Amino acid sequence: MSRPAIRDDLAALEGYHSPQVDVEVRLNTNEAPGPPPAEFAAAVSEAAAAVDWHRYPDRGATALRAALARVHSSADLVIDSSQIFCANGSNEVLQTILLTYAGPGRSVLTFEPTYALHTHIARLTGADRIQGERTDDFLIDPENAVALIHEHRPSVTFVCSPNNPTGMSEPPETVLAMLEAVEAVDGLLVVDEAYGQFSPWSALSLLSDDRSMVVSRTYSKTWAMAGARLGYLIAPNWVVDDLEKVVLPYHLDSVKQAAGLAALQFVDDMEQRVSMIVEQRGRIDTELQELGCKVWPSGANFILFRPPEGDGDRVWQALVERSVLVRNTASWEHLDGCLRVTVGTAQDNDQFLRALREVLQS
């Protein structure tokens, strides 16, 4: 039987996967340690009961965008709903950006190691990929970044801050230098802030309608809504107008929009969750160092560490045998021997640290 062939440029490409194992403590995918409050679930159920199922959803996600604009507005920064674009997780946000501004004959710049989907989606859209390198402390060297931008003139440049999987937040001066370089070559700077609420600063402070920069966010982490697959970006309104030309019609269903709206009623709960995670992150950091691990400073809800002697593969397997799952980051460039642990509940973190101590002392 004859069958169509996959595109030549995709034939050798592997899909993005995060292996799951049946364990008691799962700390490998950077999810929130617990669900949203029960009142949130009740609000979503009530909204779902009121959905006109025979009607298409609001194509413009009008109410959700307006609510997000209010949440992100402050005395120093006023956001309008025309500057918000919502999609099915931040991955669809990134995909829509690359479908709009990248593609065949254009290039995308990333700095490794970083979030694998930036490169993966760039390849899916047919764009050329330019790989920049990070310094030994996993930060972006601004002089090197500016030189790469001027040399290759990428259509889209990604900055993941805090960076996944390293957890490092880029300094404001680095992001600003890259933004100025990107604008000089008529490109777009995409600051991926999936973990932005855990970070000491946000690139939203640089946002302006006359600047070629967008900031992407997700509901998956701080809002404890990974199961909803809801993300958004904040950008100049001309970027949002361009993205609306590309995204599929009615791509954001009515229940998802309602869930996103309901979550915004619980800002205080979200902020308490962030504070708890940051506190637990500090505790894990301290104990990892006491165990002799190399630990990188994190501005996210996870920590990258290297066990003594760089024995990550053995430690990962031994933790699984103790029913604890963390992320083995050996497949990322420059991260041989490293592991990434998501900050969980206090009980989860206790079990992880207890298991790790047993492994390292055995």
Average of per-residue pLDDT across 206-217:
96
* Beta-ladder partners of 108: 129, 156
Q: From 146, 189, 123, select the one nearest 132 (Cα to Cα).
A: 146
Average of per-residue pLDDT across 247-272:
96
The pTM is what? 0.95
Outline where the chain has alpha helix (H): 38-49, 62-72, 89-101, 116-124, 142-152, 172-184, 237-246, 254-263, 267-290, 312-321, 346-361
What is the pLDDT at residue 212? 98
* Distance from chain centroid for Cα 79: 21
Same domain, 176 and 220: yes
What is the per-residue pLDDT across 228-243, written as a single tens digit (0 to 9) for each? 999 999 999 999 999 9
What is the pLDDT at residue 16? 65
**In terms of DSSP bridges, do strands 302-306 and 339-342 run parallel, antiparallel, or are they unpaired?**
antiparallel
Domain's final residue, options 224, 239, 266: 266
Same domain, 156 and 199: yes
Domain's final residue, options 227, 249, 266: 266
Asked whether the predicted pLDDT for residue 46 surpasses 90, the reply is yes
* Residue 319 to residue 348: CA distance in whole angstroms: 13
Tell me which residue range forms the domain holding 62: 49-266
Contact 181, 146 (CB under 8 A): yes
Same domain, 316 and 248: no
What is the per-residue pLDDT across 86-135, written as a single tens digit (0 to 9) for each? 999 999 999 999 999 999 999 999 999 999 999 999 999 999 999 999 99
Asked whether the predicted pLDDT for residue 6 surpasses 90, the reply is no
What is the pLDDT at residue 327? 96
Q: How many CB atoms lie within 10 A of CB 45?
A: 12
Confidence band of 333 (pLDDT split at 50, 70, 90) = confident
158 within domain boundaries: yes
Q: What is the CATH number of the domain that holds 228?
A: 3.40.640.10
* Residue 353 to residue 341: CA distance in whole angstroms: 10
Domain's final residue, options 214, 241, 266: 266
Q: What is the CATH number of the domain that holds 22?
A: 3.90.1150.10
Q: From 283, 307, 301, 47, select the one nearest 195 (Cα to Cα).
A: 301
Supply the angle between the helices 237-246 and 89-101 in degrees, to the nearest 10.
90
Give me the number of domains the chain comprises.
2
Average of per-residue pLDDT across 181-188:
98
Confidence band of 294 (pLDDT split at 50, 70, 90) = very high
* Residue 176 to residue 189: CA distance in whole angstroms: 10
Q: From 329, 287, 285, 338, select the one nearest 310 (Cα to Cα).
A: 338
What is the pLDDT at residue 310? 84
Same domain, 174 and 223: yes
Average pLDDT, the chain: 95
Contact 178, 160 (CB under 8 A): no
Asked whether the predicted pLDDT for residue 13 surpasses 90, the reply is no
8 within domain boundaries: no
What is the pLDDT at residue 20? 74
44 within domain boundaries: no
Same domain, 215 and 154: yes
